[in-house]
Amino acid sequence: MKQLLIAAALVAASTSTALAGGQAGTIGVGVESAINRETGGVSVNYDAGKFHVGGFFGYADAGGQNNSDFTIGGRFFYHLHSTAMSDFGLGLGLGLASIDGLDAAMRESRKTDIYIEPSAQIRMFLAANVALSFTFGLVIATADADSVSFGGQGAGSLGTIGGAAPTALAGVHYYFF
What pLDDT shows up at residue 146? 76
CA distance 90 to 94: 14
Q: What is the mean pLDDT of the chain?
A: 79
DSSP bridge pairs for 69: 60
Q: Is the model's pLDDT at 35 over the cut of 50?
A: yes
Biggest distance spanned by C-alpha atoms of the chain: 87
Question: 137-149, pLDDT tens digit by residue?
Answer: 888 989 888 777 7
What pLDDT shows up at residue 47? 96
Q: With contact defined as beta carbons under 8 Å apart, do 78 and 121 qualify?
A: no
CA distance 55 to 77: 12
Query: Averaged over 83-107, what is the pLDDT?
Result: 84
Task: Select the more confidently predicted residue: 127 or 65.
Answer: 127
Pairing of strands 68-82, 165-168: unpaired
Query: Averaged over 91-111, what is the pLDDT?
Result: 78
Element (H, E) at 167: strand 165-168
Read off the DSSP letter of residue 73: E
Task: Select the more confidently predicted residue: 27 or 99.
Answer: 27
CA distance 132 to 171: 6
Categorize the per-residue pLDDT at 4 as very low, low, confident or very high, splitting at 50, 70 and 90: very low
Q: With contact defined as beta carbons under 8 Å apart, do 2 and 32 qualify?
A: no
CA distance 157 to 106: 29
What value, to the nearest 5°, has the Cα angle with vertex 117 and ends 108 and 47? 120
Question: 37-81, pLDDT tens digit by residue?
Answer: 888 999 999 999 999 999 999 999 877 777 789 999 999 999 999
Cα 133 from chain centroid? 6
What pLDDT shows up at residue 106? 54
